[in-house]
Amino acid sequence: MTGEKTWWRNAVLYQIYPRSFFDSNGDGIGDLKGITKKLDYIASLGVDGVWLSPFFTSPMADFGYDVSDYCGVDPIFGTLDDFDEMLDSMHKRGLKLIIDFVMSHSSIAHPWFTESRSGKTNPKADWYVWADPKPDGTPPNNWISVFNGPAWTFDAQRGQYYYHQFLKDQPDLNIRNPEVVEALFSAARWWLDKGVDGFRLDALQHCIHDPGLHDNPARPLPPPDGKTIPRPYDMQQHKYDRNQPEMIGFCKKLRSLADDYKDRMLLAEVSGTETTIAYTNGPDMLHTAYNFSLLSHAYGADAFQEALGDFFDTPHESWPSWAMSNHDTIRAATRWSPDGRRHPAQAKMLLALLMSMRGTPFIYQGEELGLTESFVPPDQRVDTGLGLTGTGRDGCRTPMPWQKRKANAGFSKAKNTWLPVPDAHMPLAVDMQEKDKESVLHFTRRFISWRKKQPTLLEGDIMFPDGYKNVFCFTRRLGGEELFCAFNLHPESVTLPLRNDIIPLEGHGFAPANKDSGSLSLPGFGAYFGRSVAA
């Protein structure tokens, strides 16, 4: 993993949710031309590339993750010419672009499914997962959809059930069929030929099903705590509906495809440390995987230690990718707030932590502003109660605030936008934070710039020293240099032991910590970086 194929190891990547980034044509929905207009802003952050959430032709039942044309741009986002202009403009600024690619399922409106459902003998009859009802007419097995309810829907036209691990509008492709794989690979090559720098492989572990359609066993749940209501999906051990053994060979085929091109990146969306490592461990596997450990509600030094230690405690060659917020989860500034309010100091500390761990960090749009989760009134919600929040995922997807005093915070000139811009985000707009040198935005730029100059943060190993209970600490090591990193996850100041040979570093954006002989005092939500050199 040396040379030009490792750009993604040292990169900071910025996730754009195109519906909510910037609206260039006044229809209330963000688009590709809007992204192009804001590329100078993205480049000013110092990030190395962009992960762009779906923009493909789609009925939008799941906002683009239900694809009806793998080589098309949905008209609400623009045209293929707009995409080409955006990609070229990114590359001129030195920005890489990876795009979402959905291989486990398509839209119910895809021509492939239209043909497949028309009968049991047509050329695409086996392109999706079909099964007969049980003798009593019920679904073929007990598999549950990720979005709850049965993972099977009866199709009266064909007289069989089709399988969908997500919405009924998202039938699962039969990846066991070589013709399906070649069709998907052909679409992937089409985008690679256009010059995209890689793919985020959506829902990858769901691609291959058990051919015997065996029932999943029940999953023992912890005793009720009175707060958490388990999803039906969480009540099963997903032994047969995901992570089948054939996925290893499929990942190798994907890597071989990417290796036909120069300097491309494959980012797997999978959950679970064992699966993450299995899909990325070795030079013939995927480059990296999007780790979900820090997207949960678990917070604190012990929780973070467990999340990272779970990945790094066993020897392997896998390189992780990390995120604390994205388009499916409650924003970290709200999820981990100690009192439900926004804390700019905490937002800065969490960004620094994200970019200091071993791995590739992903910053979700607005995270560089310290945006909080939005409350969207029930009559204005558009998500259908999906995700883990119980009220849908709209709260993390509201439009970017660009200008405080403009309508819709400068996101759009439309009277109504696809989701409302919350009043609470107006004072956090980009133009306001540009004026404040102590803002989260300016901190993000400073820290990214500083990080680029720290080879030990970029490539060093990571170790977790004992004896730090109230703060999250780790050491990064490269050659003879050690970088000690400490993060106070709480609003109260703390004192921690510190070796006298550790010399504080500056330039990262945090105020100098109060260091005495053998100890260090960290303010609430503070962080410390110190260097030592082996004798």
Using DSSP, state whether 289 is helix, strand or coil: strand
Q: Is the CB of residue 481 less than 8 Å from the CB of residue 533?
A: yes
> What would the pLDDT profile of 212-242 be if each residue is shown by its tens digit?
999 999 998 888 776 667 789 999 999 999 9
CA-closest candidate to residue 101, choices 133, 132, 67, 137: 67
* Burial (CB count within 10 angstroms: exposed 0-12, middle 13-18, buried 19+), residue 224: exposed
CATH, range 3-104+176-209+244-451:
3.20.20.80
Q: What is the pLDDT of residue 514?
A: 80
For the cut 70, the answer to whether the pLDDT of residue 209 exceeds it is: yes
Q: Is the CB of residue 11 less than 8 Å from the CB of residue 321?
A: no
Q: Cα separation of 264 and 4, whole Å?
A: 10
Q: What is the pLDDT of residue 370?
A: 98
Q: What are phi and psi of 297, to 5 degrees?
A: -85, -15
Write the CB contacts of 39 (distance below 8 Å, at least 6 apart in sequence): 86, 89, 90, 93, 95
Residue 282 DSSP label: S
> What would the pLDDT profile of 84-105 be if each residue is shown by its tens digit?
999 999 999 999 999 999 999 9
Please name the helix (run of DSSP H) or strand (run of DSSP E) that holds residue 397, with its range, or none.
none
Q: Cα separation of 472 and 522, whole Å?
A: 12
- Mean per-residue pLDDT of the chain: 94
Rounded percentage of the chain residues whose pLDDT exceeds 70: 97
Domain positions in the chain: 3-104+176-209+244-451, 460-533
Amino acid letter for position 458: L
**What is the secondary structure of 303-365 as a DSSP string?**
HHHHHHHHHHSS----EEEEES--TTS--HHHHT-SSSS--HHHHHHHHHHHTTSSSEEEEET
For the cut 80, the answer to whether the pLDDT of residue 535 exceeds it is: no
Is 179 a residue of the active site? no
Tokens 């958490």, residue located? 228
Q: What is the pLDDT of residue 50?
A: 98
> What would the pLDDT profile of 375-423 be if each residue is shown by its tens digit?
999 899 998 655 545 568 999 999 999 999 999 999 999 999 999 999 9
Q: Is the CB of residue 519 less than 8 Å from the CB of residue 471?
A: no
Give the domain 460-533 fold.
Immunoglobulin-like (2.60.40)
Write the CB contacts of 457 (distance below 8 Å, at least 6 apart in sequence): 355, 356, 451, 476, 483
Please name the helix (run of DSSP H) or strand (run of DSSP E) that holds residue 99, with its range, or none.
strand 96-102
Please tell me which residue in 269, 367, 368, 383 is annotated as part of the active site: 269
Share of the chain residues as helix, strand and coil, in percent rounded to the nearest 5? 30, 20, 50
Is 269 a residue of the active site? yes
Q: Cα separation of 12 and 433, whole Å?
A: 21
Strands 527-533 and 481-487, by their bridges, are antiparallel
CA-closest candidate to residue 198, choices 98, 269, 268: 98
Q: Is the CB of residue 525 less than 8 Å from the CB of residue 348?
A: yes
Q: What is the pLDDT of residue 385?
A: 57
The model's pTM is 0.96
Please tell me which residue in 62, 202, 241, 383 is annotated as part of the active site: 202
Which token pair is 190? 């089409």
